[in-house]
Amino acid sequence: MMSAIAHWIGITAFVGIMATLSLQPVHAWDNAQSKSKATDDVGAPDKVADRLKIKMDVDFRRTPLQEAFAFVGDKIKTKIEIEGDALKAGGFTKNMPQTFSGDGMTALEVIAKVLEKYQDPNKPSNTMVIVVNEEKKTITVMTKAFADQQKLTPYEVFKK
């Protein structure tokens, strides 16, 4: 009998908590999220090309490709998208491990370090590149073949 009462009290408490939580105005949180997204790049240089000059310290230890790019994107306040289908067609994945560290590297140097492993001089179309969209303030990671197909110009990452 005591067990049934304890069980009933537990269920009643759970239902009460859930009812209280459901009364919270969800839209207030949603508005806060949308406002923060609109001001994410406050304080960052206007041009993405200038944001790529921002220095940072990195310590990637088997960090998945997508997390490495997310880290850089956060540091330079720029959305970095990965074109998954393009990478897949080139034999790449978003989970390929990145292992390197550096202090005072520019965002472009970090991106170049990531991309250097995925360059194929024998088959340049199967290399990984970035495309910068200054209008949308984004960077997209894709293959050169995909960029060519979409008539996009890869950003010059490697110094000549």
Q: Where are the domains of the chain?
A: 2-38, 48-149
pLDDT in tens, the chain (160 residues): 555 555 555 555 444 444 444 443 333 333 333 333 333 667 788 999 999 999 999 999 999 999 999 999 999 999 999 999 999 999 999 999 999 999 999 999 999 999 999 998 888 888 999 999 999 999 999 999 999 999 999 999 987 6
Note the pTM of the prediction, 2 decimals: 0.73
CATH 3.55.50.30 fits 48-149, yes or no: yes
Please give the torsion angle defined by the CA atoms of residues 63, 67, 69 and 73, in that order, rounded to the nearest 10 degrees: -130
Contact 134, 49 (CB under 8 A): yes
Tokens of 140: 């997209």
